[in-house]
């Protein structure tokens, strides 16, 4: 068999396998079934980005995914709060295992990415560094109908597709802020870098103090097209 024919055979076998999964002929755990709804408690795998993408196209699917997390949220009707800044497939997040300094508007996809980040990235980092979970997040908000800096490109904040996180409060009351602790004690530095690393796994764009002076006091996390981790 030539290489070309072999690849063709592989492709054929793979599509047969996918068809069999889609029709329910073979039993595949939901985590490994591309068509099964996303369960945000499952350990993320190669299919997670695909499922997140699919969920953003279908509000019902996305809300079903959010319902698997411990987030308390309310579905927000599509609207045009300000000219040029439509809100679509979005929710208002009120809290969950972690409380927020204020409730915030988020595209369903951003909310799902946040839930993955909290469960699989942020809390494990807090446990590893401090031996306790994060109880509260301080943030600067999500929705703002504006461009990036003074430029002409629309910010992900203009569609509630970005969240700016400024700090964390642990269960015992210890407060860690990006502004003070990014260059703080060794432990705080380690925690904030772990948090950034985790954010880069779940959000498309993660920007912090290493990116530029405008981000000296927060992590900007968004689900836009650009993949940046700085
Ligand atoms: Zn931001």
User: Ligand 1 centre from 182 Cα, in Å?
Assistant: 17
User: Ligand 1 centre from 120 Cα, in Å?
Assistant: 22
User: Ligand 1 centre from 140 Cα, in Å?
Assistant: 8
Reported as a single tens digit per residue, the pLDDT across 149-200 is 888 889 999 999 999 999 999 999 999 999 999 999 999 999 999 999 999 9
The whole-model pTM stands at 0.88
User: Ligand 1 centre from 147 Cα, in Å?
Assistant: 11
User: Ligand 1 centre from 127 Cα, in Å?
Assistant: 26
- How are strands ordered across the β-sheet holding 104-107? 72-76, 90-95, 104-107
Reported as a single tens digit per residue, the pLDDT across 71-81 is 999 999 999 98
User: Ligand 1 centre from 157 Cα, in Å?
Assistant: 6
| Those residues with Cβ within 8 angstroms of residue 67's Cβ, 6 or more apart along the chain or in another chain | none
Report d(CA 56, CA 62) in Å as an integer. Answer: 6
pLDDT at 57: 86
User: Ligand 1 centre from 21 Cα, in Å?
Assistant: 40
């Amino acid at each position: 068999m030539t290489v070309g024919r072999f690849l063709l055979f592989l492709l054929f076998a793979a599509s047969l396998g996918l068809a069999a999964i889609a029709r329910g002929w073979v039993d595949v755990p939901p985590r490994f079934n591309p068509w099964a709804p996303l369960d945000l408690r499952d350990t993320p795998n190669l299919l997670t980005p695909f499922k997140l993408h699919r969920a953003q196209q279908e509000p019902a699917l996305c809300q079903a995914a959010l319902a698997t997390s411990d987030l308390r949220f309310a579905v927000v009707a599509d609207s045009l709060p300000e000219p040029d800044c439509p809100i679509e497939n979005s929710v208002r997040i009120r809290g969950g295992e972690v409380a927020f300094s204020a409730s915030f508007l988020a595209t369903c996809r951003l909310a799902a990415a946040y839930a993955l980040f909290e469960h699989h990235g942020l809390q494990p980092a807090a446990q590893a560094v401090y031996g306790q979970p994060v109880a509260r997040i301080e943030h600067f908000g999500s929705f703002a109908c504006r461009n990036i800096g003074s430029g002409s490109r629309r910010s992900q904040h203009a569609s509630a597709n970005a969240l700016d996180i400024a700090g964390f409060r642990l269960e015992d009351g210890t407060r860690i802020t990006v502004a003070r602790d990014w260059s703080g004690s060794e432990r705080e530095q380690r925690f904030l870098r772990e948090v950034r690393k985790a954010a880069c796994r779940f959000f498309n764009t993660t920007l912090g103090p290493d990116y530029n002076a405008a981000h000296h006091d927060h992590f900007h996390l968004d689900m836009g097209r650009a993949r940046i981790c700085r």
